[in-house]
Structure 1
């Protein structure tokens, strides 16, 4: 979504005037540090090969100018290979848009509200898959029973457990869409809310093992704003979920993010043993109080603008040039022309955080921890004096962490995370 390059960052994510309690952004574009339109365009060869190493350090120093944020994110999240040409990316983009259209039509056949410009916040079927005849439900959907039952004629059996599971999530998606980023002027238009609902509904069907979980709307919302084409926004979100879907995988006994909470406990025990002991004494040794920070990547702790700045810094620091080939389907990867491989990868093409892992053997011995875990550890370390002196119970811990909402500095948090990461790797070697 291209806009005036001279506009200040906050103009892209306007907050409704009446929302006075919304955290103010601490991030401002700084000349010479931010990845500008000019610097971004200069990083491409005439054929379209991208020198990703030129952009990573600049993103880490000052983020990305809002007018190019969407297209840069597509590279950072592995939607495109930096070694591809303009023509190859156009081909991939068109192929993905066609694939999204097919998936969306499949969903529309099962539930005709998909793609209608509307969305639902009420249940439409029972746990057994029976349509709900409540007039209020039908009124909200603006559908009659014939439309609700349209799925009977589609390729999927409406009694199929997968279909029932998917339809049961639709109203929860609607409830979350209705309250996601509603302070932003962008979401005053119902069609934008509907676009968010459509993408999440299609994703829930495409990833039936995880489906939809609360928090995904917070992760998807920026994609809708940054990428004008709905299909492009979907694939950007899908790539982000490749990283994060493990957080949302639930079993009868555990939630996926618990693994990261366990890692957070181990890190804090190494870098701030006194705080760790204090939290254990308070009954917080499972670190569940940090659940939300990891689940939605600080979307609630930072202003909208600052959270985007934080994300792109994280992705630049963690960047791996093999992302595209790891994510792309094997048959699609095999179709890549031999001439698009470009120069061999060098360590400069990796993000700084990833380079540190490689130098310390983390990449070969075990899967490296995501930088988000060290970001939370950095926040806890920063709040350690307050937590040690004022927290007399878990409620106090939660209150102290909630009080920092809107008062965090994204650049400071990332810098702190990198320092703790080095300290942790050093301690593990000893």
Structure 2
């Protein structure tokens, strides 16, 4: 061990720099020829690229191993004491901002050959810890910025032992858990004027302080990673190809109490997150590059969170990162972090927010991007509202919070600029939000609020870009009056069927009218809900039951049905009106709910529902509640109990379709922005592919036609794929949609003619304008009719159109088309040919993004009278016109046209044949390759099997030898044991004889002693007599 004075050998060597990588600190050495100090440290990310290169060849470039990030607490800016560790800012004149740590002991230093070797550092730590007898108590100052210096102060004399710039630190490491060095840490720095390195070892009285000290080292570099405004202003704006666009999406999930995490709801209008108090959360960040050459993200070295907006970096809290890496489809980089809301730093985000107010949080993610000198930080500032822990959110927006960023890079040209940059070829000139880039701030210090993303979205909406299919949110809210009206309507529907299905029943008791009405309405609403939603409502409500409630209904049914319905009604009534009574256990509530769902009363829905109740059309015109659409659509289509079709669908999806390639291309363009279909090969696209493929096999005459995927997607958003397929078949066949695709779209052209004639009659001015422009109906209405308005319009409007279509029939498309033309008449009259087509393609769908606008449009559509007789008349006119054209047409022209059509069909089939042949060849090559690999693997496995068999034989031989040796050893042991037992017996006999002899000798000795004693007494008597005689 060297003297402590080696600490003083510190110089201005330009070694740097540290960075935080997930759960560990990595500290990397810069090239020796780098001479800059503060300039390089202000962009400390310069060594991050070198860190990746060194990681492949240098062992142990990690520091804090086995220590989760959650144990590292960021030091406070004020004087606080945490377990003997004091953290404060220096305030003396000329003294830089530092974090102070006391109760440390310096164990000494040792020379190492490899500055980044964890093994050597741990060996030096163990050696110095074992040899330390006299400890030097010191205070350690760790700077908060990369330009600062690490200072070591003797606690006894308050004198400075050593000070050196933090960028000289090459490597940090802590002792391994479970060892005597678990409370120690060390860092490595270069010796003055030599190629050797010194590792300095410290010991903490409090073990938990080690993580905080190492975290303080990293904080300086995190704060230095943000480029200054002065540096950015000196650069000339890069050309357009140096602009890189990124979209960053934020999602927060909360613990649902069942071991899973569910996405927190967001307000539909203001898009703030709705959080609950004291519930464990997780933060998900998706970073996706949207333009220019792809930049590879190497890693995320920091996910930070703070309360409020425009938060200082020192007030940000480092979250414990659970995972990071590319998504399954390889399109975006995903970071996941754990958020404990009970942390004191998040107190303001864990208190209930007052009504009509909201707070903000700041989320920062630091990414190391390949070929970029310094790390890139994306900052999100969403709004949040905090609710009580047991708050329930039923309906909420699924729209994600996202912001677009523009990163401007500049390529490093000269060798001087590349000093210390490693393999990096770019440096960051600026990083701005998209809205800041498009509309620069008025002052350099201007910051952007989270509403930038909304402003950007509005600007994009008002641009010339088309509205993507499947956009818009659909409200799940529904007033109690509407639910009651639908409940009463469905109840009357069930009663109509029940009266046709069941004979009279005499078992009925009287029931008060108010209670009867309340129960029947509640039951009718529950009957119209899906199984999943009903189960959710059953569990989230307070399940109660009262023994005093005895219910029975005057149902004209069998006795068993009456009893079952009475029990079900009692449960439902208690769910809604008897919350203060005795609570049921979870198991009992489950059994009651299942009993309700399986009761004979529910089987009424599987009966004949073709007789619709009065008032149904009026209710549908006002839109079906979103929660009821899945059930009502199936009832309206008459496929609520089509088991034969369900079984047929399960068979169809197992077959191959010749149109699979066309379907695959189409589903990638179907609702691309909707969360259910945006993931390539995701569950949504997979279900959509199955439905389209099954229908292409089911309907061999039509097969799959472009546009069918939009209709199938709308159905799939409301019901499982089996039921969606049944409804799709009903719409295609019974509603006549498939007729539009038949006979070279003859019926479709007929409907175009009918629309033009209706337009001529109802809107003559607009009709004449279209005639002047030579604008025909097929130019704007073909997509409307073939997709039933599902391709371009917002979902709120699409769903309402589907309500009307299933209730009124396919003729409703004329009402909707006329309503669209009538409401936009003034704009269309002012547009030319190109402007009109652009208006239909771009501006028209955007007008109905608001649900209220769509509702007013469709109410107006329902008020337009389109008599069936008139449509029949126009159809006859069209047929007569077509016959007249056929008679006047030259047969040669007709044959040429037919020949041209057949040639196009032949070319298309040839192209498909070539594609299939190419696919077949490719598949054969792939199969051949797989077969070769399988054969190679089989050979390797056969060799391993032979070797294993050989080893097995050898092992059996060895076992046999061992058994023989063991038997011999046992025999020898047995003989020796018998011999030992014989010796023991002989010895025992000898011992018993000796004991007998000793006993005899003892008796003899006692007798001799007694005789001797008697003789001695006689002698004494004689002696006394002699003495007397002498006297």
**Pairwise same-fold verdict (TM > 0.5):** yes
Residue 649 of structure 2 corresponds to which residue in structure 1?
A: 100
**Which residue of 858, 861, 879 corresponds with 1:414?**
858
Q: Deviations over 1:238-275 (max 9, x none)?
A: 11222211222252xx5542221111101000001111
**Relative to structure 2, which stretch is displaced further, 199-208 or 238-247?**
238-247
Residue 260 (structure 1) aligned with residue 742 (structure 2): no
Residue 741 of structure 2 corresponds to which residue in structure 1?
A: 248
Residue 820 of structure 2 corresponds to which residue in structure 1?
A: 379
User: Partners of 2:693 and 2:872 in 1: how far apart?
Assistant: 43
**Relative to structure 2, which stretch is displaced further, 174-183 or 263-272?**
174-183
- Structure 1 gaps of 5+ residues are 81-88, 112-165, 319-368
**Which residue of 269, 294, 299 corresponds with 2:785?**
294
User: Partners of 1:188 and 1:301 in 2: how far apart?
Assistant: 16
Once the two structures are superposed, the pairs formed by residues 118-197 of structure 1 within 5 Å of their partners are 166-167=657-658, 169-188=659-678, 190-197=682-689
User: Partners of 1:277 and 1:76 in 2: how far apart?
Assistant: 39
User: Partners of 2:741 and 2:483 in 1: how far apart?
Assistant: 33
CA root-mean-square deviation: 3.2
Q: Secondary structure at the match of 1:313?
A: helix
Residue 401 of structure 1 corresponds to which residue in structure 2?
A: 840
**Which residue of 725, 743, 763 corresponds with 1:234?**
725
Q: Deviations over 1:70-92 (max 9, x none)?
A: 12111222324xxxxxxxx3xx3
The offset of 1:188, in angstroms, is 4.8
User: Partners of 2:778 and 2:786 in 1: how far apart?
Assistant: 13
- Taking structure 1 as the reference length, the TM-score comes to 0.61
2:478 and 2:625 in contact (8 A); partners too: no
User: Partners of 2:702 and 2:692 in 1: how far apart?
Assistant: 12
The offset of 1:216, in angstroms, is 0.4
Once the two structures are superposed, the pairs formed by residues 192-203 of structure 1 within 5 Å of their partners are 192-203=684-695
The offset of 1:209, in angstroms, is 1.1
2:667 and 2:689 in contact (8 A); partners too: yes
**Which residue of 58, 67, 72 corresponds with 2:632?**
72
**Which residue of 375, 388, 391 corresponds with 2:831?**
391
2:714 and 2:790 in contact (8 A); partners too: no
Residue 218 of structure 1 corresponds to which residue in structure 2?
A: 710
Q: Deviations over 1:125-147 (max 9, x none)?
A: xxxxxxxxxxxxxxxxxxxxxxx
Residue 767 of structure 2 corresponds to which residue in structure 1?
A: 276
The offset of 1:288, in angstroms, is 2.3
Residue 308 of structure 1 corresponds to which residue in structure 2?
A: 799
Residue 349 of structure 1 corresponds to which residue in structure 2?
A: none
User: Partners of 1:226 and 1:40 in 2: how far apart?
Assistant: 21
Change in Cα spacing, 1:428 to 1:226, as seen in structure 2 (3 Å) is closer
The offset of 1:416, in angstroms, is 2.5
Change in Cα spacing, 1:185 to 1:61, as seen in structure 2 (3 Å) is same
The offset of 1:186, in angstroms, is 1.8
- Structure 2 gaps of 5+ residues are 1-391, 404-456, 462-467, 496-600, 874-1031
Residue 7 of structure 1 corresponds to which residue in structure 2?
A: 394
The offset of 1:423, in angstroms, is 8.2
1:35 and 1:63 in contact (8 A); partners too: no
Change in Cα spacing, 1:7 to 1:39, as seen in structure 2 (3 Å) is farther
1:16 and 1:185 in contact (8 A); partners too: no
1:314 and 1:414 in contact (8 A); partners too: no
Q: Secondary structure at the match of 2:673?
A: coil
Larger helix proportion of the pair: 1
Change in Cα spacing, 1:422 to 1:29, as seen in structure 2 (3 Å) is farther
Matched residue count:
297
Q: Secondary structure at the match of 1:185?
A: coil
Q: Deviations over 1:91-140 (max 9, x none)?
A: x33x32222222223x1xxx3xxxxxxxxxxxxxxxxxxxxxxxxxxxxx
Change in Cα spacing, 1:178 to 1:36, as seen in structure 2 (3 Å) is farther
Q: Deviations over 1:327-384 (max 9, x none)?
A: xxxxxxxxxxxxxxxxxxxxxxxxxxxxxxxxxxxxxxxxxx7110121011111111
User: Partners of 2:632 and 2:698 in 1: how far apart?
Assistant: 25
The offset of 1:426, in angstroms, is 8.8
| Greater RCO, 1 or 2 (C-alpha within 8 Å, sep 6+) | 1
User: Partners of 1:192 and 1:418 in 2: how far apart?
Assistant: 33
Q: Secondary structure at the match of 2:801?
A: helix
Q: Secondary structure at the match of 1:299?
A: coil
Change in Cα spacing, 1:227 to 1:27, as seen in structure 2 (3 Å) is closer
User: Partners of 1:290 and 1:297 in 2: how far apart?
Assistant: 10
User: Partners of 1:65 and 1:18 in 2: how far apart?
Assistant: 29
1:76 and 1:315 in contact (8 A); partners too: yes
Change in Cα spacing, 1:233 to 1:6, as seen in structure 2 (3 Å) is farther
2:688 and 2:709 in contact (8 A); partners too: yes
Change in Cα spacing, 1:422 to 1:396, as seen in structure 2 (3 Å) is same
Change in Cα spacing, 1:67 to 1:201, as seen in structure 2 (3 Å) is same
In our comparison, the structure showing a higher alpha carbon Rg is: 2
The offset of 1:420, in angstroms, is 2.8
Residue 622 of structure 2 corresponds to which residue in structure 1?
A: 62
Change in Cα spacing, 1:427 to 1:57, as seen in structure 2 (3 Å) is closer
User: Partners of 2:743 and 2:483 in 1: how far apart?
Assistant: 39
